[in-house]
């Protein structure tokens, strides 16, 4: 990693520091490698390409849902929920950074080639310079938000499955993936509780809140199969639905054949526009 060394008293203003090193990547999250100093050697018996592909899929799920949730900023029903959704988006963005960085370290060939001398770190190259066909996320996370009830349903189903998965991944032989998962478990617990409580509240609210909740759940449920078969998640979701007095939706699964819906391309066009307009992104 690069340490930007500043001599004491060198800068009169905090902004002066921005001008010292003109190799700053202008559009990333910050100038920190999230795996700085972490041993990223792939352990014996693990296929590096498979590990990278798996981490990309997990990272893309988090990145895409994080972006969707961030679209709620300033638009949620009230300030507390606005802040809650932004917090969940931030946690998922953090998971995405770690997982994309882990994928890039395990198999550098997954990282798109950028112009020579580009300062873009691998995690940002993966986030901003792949097109929709290269993204590995499940279509569930790329669908437009819908209303607040539908967002609650999506966070509930997604966090329930991801939490169950991360509990198991905490014992993965790759020490980096297992550490990311063990950390994620704590965050996902809060996400799932938040969505589960709102699910019960909306189900027991007004006729309109219940109608919207059931409609949102049906749309989400049609994509639930993308998250795989998971007995623990089944049990948790059945418990939430029973507590809320909501029947499991009778919907036909939407099959995307491993591809994406039209929505991902549009979302990425917005998310990636600034980075792609300035691929060397220097200031």
Partner 1 sequence: MTAWEVAATVVDPELPMLTLADLGVLREVEEDGGAVVVAITPTYSGCPAMATMRDDLVRRLQEEGYDDVQVRVALDPPWTTDWITPEGRRALAEHGISPPAVSTGATDRRGPVPIRLSPTRRAVSCPRCTSGDVALVSEFGSTACKAMYRCRACLEPFDHVKEI
Give the dihedral sign, CA 161/164/166/171. Answer: negative
Length reported for the chain: 283
Q: Tokens 């349903």, residue?
A: 153
Q: How many helices (H) and strands (E) does the chain have?
A: 10, 0
Q: Cβ closer to partner 1: 10 or 131? A: 10
Q: Cβ closer to partner 1: 27 or 190? A: 190
Q: Which residues, including other chains, have CB under 8 Å from residue 22's CB and lie 6 or more apart?
A: 282, 283
Q: Cβ closer to partner 1: 167 or 214? A: 167
CA distance 198 to 171: 31
Shortest Cβ 240–partner 1 spacing (Å): 7
Report if residue 87 touches partner 1, rule: CB under 8 A: yes
> Is residue 25 classed as helix, strand or coil in its secondary structure?
strand
Q: Tokens 């809140």, residue?
A: 209
First to last CA, the chain: 20
Report if residue 186 touches partner 1, rule: CB under 8 A: yes
CA distance 77 to 63: 23
Report if residue 80 touches partner 1, rule: CB under 8 A: yes
Q: Which residues, including other chains, have CB under 8 Å from residue 235's CB and lie 6 or more apart?
A: none
Q: Cβ closer to partner 1: 168 or 266? A: 168
Among 68, 192, 212, 224, binds partner 1 (CB under 8 A): 192
Report if residue 76 touches partner 1, rule: CB under 8 A: no
Q: How far is CA 76 from CA 146, 149, 202, in A?
A: 12, 11, 15
Report if residue 37 touches partner 1, rule: CB under 8 A: yes
Which residue stretch of 1-9, 41-49, 108-116, 126-134 sits at the interface with partner 1 (rule: CB under 8 A)?
A: 1-9
Dig out the tokens for 171 from the structure.
């014992």
Among 67, 68, 97, 161, binds partner 1 (CB under 8 A): 97
Q: Cβ closer to partner 1: 81 or 214? A: 81
Dig out the tokens for 97 from the structure.
């950074």
Residues 214-243 that bind partner 1 (CB under 8 A): 232, 236, 239-240, 243
Report if residue 4 touches partner 1, rule: CB under 8 A: yes
Q: Which residues contact partner 1 by CB under 8 A? A: 1, 3-8, 29-38, 80-81, 83-84, 86-88, 90-95, 97-98, 160, 163-164, 167, 170, 175-176, 178-180, 182-187, 189-190, 192-194, 196-197, 200, 232, 236, 239-240, 243
């Amino acid at each position: 990693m690069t340490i930007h060394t500043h001599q004491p008293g060198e800068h009169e203003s905090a902004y002066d520091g921005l001008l010292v090193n003109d190799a700053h990547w202008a559009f990333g999250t910050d100038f920190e490698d999230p795996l700085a100093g972490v041993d990223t050697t792939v352990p014996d018996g693990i296929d590096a390409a498979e590990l990278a592909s798996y981490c990309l899929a997990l990272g893309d799920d988090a990145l895409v849902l994080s972006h969707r949730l961030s679209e709620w900023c300033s638009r949620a029903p009230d300030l507390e929920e606005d802040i809650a959704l932004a917090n969940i988006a931030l946690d998922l963005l953090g998971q995405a950074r770690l997982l994309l960085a882990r994928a890039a370290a395990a198999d550098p060939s997954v990282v798109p080639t950028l112009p020579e001398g580009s300062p873009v770190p691998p995690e940002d190259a993966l986030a901003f310079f792949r097109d929709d066909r290269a993204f590995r996320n499940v279509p569930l996370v790329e669908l437009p938000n819908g209303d607040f009830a539908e967002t609650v349903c999506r966070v509930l189903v997604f966090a329930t499955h991801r939490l169950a998965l991360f509990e198991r991944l905490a014992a993965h032989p790759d020490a980096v993936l297992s550490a990311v998962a063990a950390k994620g478990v704590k965050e996902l617990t809060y996400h799932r509780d938040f969505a589960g409580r709102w699910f019960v509240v909306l189900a027991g609210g007004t006729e309109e809140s219940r109608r919207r909740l059931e409609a949102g759940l049906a749309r989400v449920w049609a994509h639930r199969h993308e998250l795989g078969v998971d007995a623990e998640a089944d049990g948790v979701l059945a418990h939430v639905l029973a507590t809320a007095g909501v029947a499991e939706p009778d919907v036909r699964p939407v099959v995307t054949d491993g591809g994406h819906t039209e929505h991902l391309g549009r979302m990425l066009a917005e998310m990636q526009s600034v980075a792609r307009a300035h691929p060397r992104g220097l200031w």
